[in-house]
Structure 1
């Protein structure tokens, strides 16, 4: 392994570390602001599957982690506060809510050098949010403002982490070995396995999607490679939930298993429908960056 590869790997890992830390700071700040309200809301508003689904999506969009939402739910089921049947709607909603992070990350890739587009660049947004965050954190005495400052700082760190990841992987588009490796993931099974492994290592579906977004921006990865990886990332997100359920009773374990089954079913449904339709329609975007 040459020195350039070592520097690239270290830079990428530092970007992932900043991303995960920023996401953690954001989530903790939001939970501190809400106090025990999140837990009470999750407990009380799950009397119908639709309510559970909407609630799971909303809470996960706020705390930026489907695993964290599901781990809370596993705890409720384990303690007897909630039935496993009530948890299903929240779990399905959590998988929808976690995609919000990916859309937030798209701000990192708004391309423009002039006018309004420049104001929406990652550097500008990160700078403004970081400055406001440190002002709230340092100079305002009320706890709610200090927590809001933490949320802003977490968001800024998350965006800087994305920039770092993007910068690290940018040279890879000119690497024949790397392009060849990514091309091998056009085999859906390999792509799914890679997505599962990446998410299991990072312990975060949002971080895994962030790495994939950073790779895609370089132009080195096409849709047919990215799609199965996304399917695998969904399953890999169940790893921290399954770990959290190891010490729970049978109902807590069942709830964690529901999360895994939901992700596996989504993968089977998504791949079967997509590849079946593509066999007849031949999507134009299939081999596009």
Structure 2
């Protein structure tokens, strides 16, 4: 019996080691992918000036918002989209163009919550609770964009604050040499260079296009595998954290949402954990609310991690757009949740909408199609 237990323990330990080795490999692949996207984008667009011309169609903030929303709703991963945006900024995409795209990624990621809540659609009361827990995330992010996108257009708040933060990180002076701290470039540059050499056989800009597309594929693979492995490693513990930490103190709940999301590297995963628990009546909507805001903040770690892989002339701008994501979510949490009138808007909207949706379930499909497809299409037509 003891020998059997020893074998099982050894097998479990070996499995855990393999899982953590996979995590390390996928983090490296993500860092490598961001470098490939940036290099490929520079190659295909002819440098920063070409990038500005290539993305002129997205210079309208509303178009940038639509692009971020569409992309994230399509692949259901804000981590993937924000990592790609970091790579594009590294390749010359202007930060001002990328900021609305980052905001759109916050909106697009909420599709996953709605889909999870539909698992309770056969039971009216459960569905009402689950759907309200899912859509409170939606309404909060929509309200955040409604407040901060006009503010950004008028004042450049996020751009200025994130620029200062990136400047502090890089010393804010040409006299400060950060090259000694760049431990990522030496382990990624040789592999990026190898792929660049492989694609040199392609004519014109197509080598850069191929390099960027391969980098994009690596982002998908790394985020997908990383999410699956971290779920196995952390989700069981995450559930324990949820039961202990949610309820009572909103700040504690926000901190739990942040930590769980950092642990599983996916706000979709952490919010999807809470929706079924809310549907089963374990947590109330007021308890779920601050937890989801913590998830918004926690998901910013992926973009920051991706930004740290960037070196060279655009390194500071890449870190800046990652800080934009972080400051957008922190600022929205402080302003909206900190002001009682604004705090109640997502709560009341989610509760009222869930009551209507539980009586007429076709509203759910209309909501998803309307918010994530019809509305963006209408905005495209209006801004052409």
TM-score by length of 2: 0.44
Q: 5 Å matches for 1:122-271?
A: 181=244, 185-248=247-310, 249-271=315-337
User: What's the CA shift for 1:89?
Assistant: 0.7
Whole-angstrom distance in 2 between the partners of 1:231 and 1:57: 18
Aligned pair in 2 of structure 1 residues 103, 276: CA closer, same or farther (>3 Å)?
closer
Asked if 2 retains the 8 angstrom alpha-carbon contact of 1:45 and 1:55, the reply is no
Whole-angstrom distance in 2 between the partners of 1:235 and 1:90: 17
**In structure 2, what is the equivalent of residue 75 of structure 1?**
87
Asked if 1 retains the 8 angstrom alpha-carbon contact of 2:336 and 2:342, the reply is no
Aligned pair count reads 201
Whole-angstrom distance in 2 between the partners of 1:219 and 1:199: 22
Query: Secondary structure of 2:122's match?
Result: coil
CA RMSD of aligned residues (A): 4.5
Asked if 2 retains the 8 angstrom alpha-carbon contact of 1:186 and 1:224, the reply is no
TM-score by length of 1: 0.57
Asked if 2 retains the 8 angstrom alpha-carbon contact of 1:57 and 1:96, the reply is yes
Structure 1 unmatched runs, 5+: 1-16, 18-35, 114-153
User: What's the CA shift for 1:103?
Assistant: 1.1
- CA deviation vs aligned residue, 1:217-242 (integer Å, no higher than 9, x gap): 22111122111101101000101111
Q: 5 Å matches for 1:22-171?
A: 43=55, 45-80=57-92, 82-111=93-122
Aligned pair in 2 of structure 1 residues 74, 188: CA closer, same or farther (>3 Å)?
same
Aligned pair in 2 of structure 1 residues 189, 277: CA closer, same or farther (>3 Å)?
closer
The higher relative CO (CA closer than 8 Å, separation ≥ 6) is in: 2
Whole-angstrom distance in 2 between the partners of 1:178 and 1:208: 10
Structure 2 unmatched runs, 5+: 1-18, 20-39, 46-53, 125-223, 352-384
- CA deviation vs aligned residue, 1:33-87 (integer Å, no higher than 9, x gap): xxx9xx99x946311111000111011100111121111111111121x111110
Whole-angstrom distance in 2 between the partners of 1:93 and 1:178: 28
